[in-house]
Amino acid sequence: MTEQEEKISKLENLLELITQSERDYNSFDNLYKKTQEEYFAENNEYGSISYRKNLKQTIEKKAKSFILAKRKWKSANKLDRPFSDFINNFKQDVNGELTRLRLKNIPDTTIK
């Protein structure tokens, strides 16, 4: 299996995990950890700059918004929006990278 095929497989598994967890606030810690792992995994010579940038925004904006909302409100209905925003952004990040890898014709600069 090539490095690209391995990455596609890993991202497909990650997308499945996100989808399975999208209605469970208790899954946030695990998904947040996965977001950070992906972000740091892309910090290598062959990492995708756009994917890494998108993950960073998801971590800094959407995940942090959910964390703050969770501290402020205990009511589930107040947490729905920040949690779904985090899930949607993380899914979008992973789907975007999967599309780029599958099509191969979409160039992306790499970290050098």
pLDDT tens digits, residue range 51-87?
A: 999 999 999 999 999 999 999 987 778 899 999 999 9
pLDDT at 107: 55
Averaged pLDDT, 76-100: 93
Amino acid, res. 3: E
Which of helix, strand or coil describes residue 23?
A: coil
DSSP 45: T
CB 90 within 8 A of CB 18: yes
**What pLDDT score was predicted for residue 108?**
56
Give Cα separations from 21 to 28, 57, 64 (angstroms).
8, 20, 18
pLDDT band at 97 (very low <50, low <70, confident <90, very high): very high
pTM of the predicted protein model: 0.87
In the chain, helix, strand, coil percent, each to 5? 80, 0, 20
Please state the domain extents for the chain.
3-103
